Amino acid sequence: MNFMRKFSILFMTVAVLFCSACDFDSKADSEFFAMDTIMSITAYGSNSQSAVSAAENEINRLDKLLSVQNENSEIFKLNRDKSINASADTVTLLKRAMNFYTLTDGAFDITTEPLTRAWGFYSGLEKRVPSQNEIDNALKTVGAEHINIDNKNITLDENTSLDLGGIAKGYASAKTAQIFKENGVSSALISLGGNVRVVGSKPDGSDWSVAITDPDDNSKQVGTLAVRDTAVVTSGSYQRYFEENGHIYHHIIDTETGYPAQSGLKSVTVVSEDDTLADALSTGLFVMGLEKSSKLYSKNSALFGAVFVTDKNEIYITDNLENRFSSQHKFEVIER
């Protein structure tokens, strides 16, 4: 009797050990193309397969809604007709974009479409340096004051056009994380074209480790962040650029000058539980530069953290990331 009881305890212990190992393997993943880039989604746990399918559908739906190049999208129609009756998603996202415009003092701007087009940063166009005349004309159409939102009616001033490329992936990643939570997925990793979002902890209960790409060498990293339930988004001049007459022109356009932002930074990584904010601010802070960004941080340290890589390869991190960031390189801490 005694033997049987002990044997069953031993048997149960081994069975539990094995099952916890089995649970590791219950994972679902998907890799697909949307929003002009690669999406990669991995979820762990019993409900992961249906959650991943639902997430993929949601991202494709948002892509069709928000794409600047898809002729059936609301944004395409808005740019063409200058007026639409928008869906709830588009209204929500545009309102948030307007808030980020104010928060960053105009550095994050969704009216860059005419400038981005002039520089040829859309697929199918030739990348080139536009004439000063073209830039001056495009600059007249730029700024959130050219967008009017009246309930569901959105109108644009003449010649103003929107590009949600700096915020749509963040919104899609927030929606994906939400779908995972609703489906009871407590562990997932989402990468929407390099916009990373982690849900919960790793299946073994530890933090997710997210590396930040070295702007000078894609195969290296400037450091890693140990995170849970957060978005990590990087904007960098190395991501999309072209060379002309020995000068390098990147894709993050400063709407103040109409030229690629020259703010002394090579990349900005924003860490936040708010995916949409992380996406928008990574671009906004890149345009603002280190000094203005530090000031913005000191007033909003509850909203986000950031890692900056300067043109001189110095690394700066905000003080709320001190326990999360590790690097082989030397780095400075920005106090709030």
Partner 1 sequence: MKTRTWIIILSSAVIVCAVLWMFILNSSSPSKIVGIYQDGSLVEKIDLNSVTDEREITLNGKFGKNIIFISHGHIEMKSAECPDKICVKHGALEIGGTPIVCLPNKVVIQFEETPYGADAKTGAAE
Residues that bind partner 1 (CB under 8 A): 2-3, 6, 10, 13-14, 17, 21, 30-33, 36-38, 123-124, 189, 191, 193-196, 198, 202, 208-213, 218-221, 224, 232-236, 239-240, 267, 269
Backbone angles phi, psi at 119, to 5 degrees: -80, -5
In the bound state with partner 1, the residue whose beta carbon lies nearer, of 263 and 269, is: 269
Q: What are phi and psi of 37, to 5 degrees?
A: -155, -175
Residue 42: Cβ within 10 Å count: 17
Paired strand residues for 84? 154
Nearer to partner 1 by Cβ, of 32 and 87: the residue is 32
Residue corresponding to tokens 């978005």: 231
- From CA 41, how far away is CA 55, in angstroms rounded? 8
* Alpha-carbon gap, residue 13 to 95, rounded angstroms: 54
Are 261 and 287 in contact by the 8 Å Cβ rule? The answer is yes
CA distance 199 to 328: 27
The DSSP string of 194-263 is TEEEEEES-TTSSPEEEEEEETTEEEEEEEEEEESSEEEEEEETTSSEEEETTEEEES-B-TTTSSB--S
**What's the min distance (Å) between Cβ of 167 and partner 1?**
16
Q: Please identify, using beta-carbon distances, which residue of 36 and 314 lies nearer to partner 1.
A: 36
Phi/psi of residue 4, nearest 5 degrees: -60, -45
Decide whether 103 or 212 has the Cβ nearer to partner 1: 212
Q: At what angle do helices 88-103 and 168-182 cross, to 10 degrees?
A: 120
**Closest separation in Å from C-beta 86 to partner 1:** 28
Residue among 18 and 105 whose Cβ is closer to partner 1: 18
- As measured in angstroms, the least distance from the Cβ of 224 to partner 1 is 5
> In the bound complex, what is the minimum distance in angstroms from residue 275's beta carbon to partner 1?
12
In contact, 258 and 113? CB cutoff 8 Å: no
The residue among 10 and 333 lying less far from partner 1, judged by its C-beta, is 10
Antiparallel, parallel or unpaired: β 305-310 and 265-272: antiparallel
With respect to partner 1, which residue has the nearer C-beta, 38 or 87?
38
CB of 1 to partner 1, least distance (A): 11
Shortest distance in whole angstroms from residue 220 CB to partner 1: 7
Closest contact distance (angstroms) between CB of 151 and partner 1 is 36
In whole angstroms, the minimum distance from the beta carbon of 153 to partner 1 comes to 35
Give the Cα separation of 114 and 119 in Å (integer). Answer: 9
Of 301, 274, 272, 277, the closest CA to residue 100 belongs to 277
Judged by beta carbon, residue 13 or residue 298, the one nearer partner 1 is 13
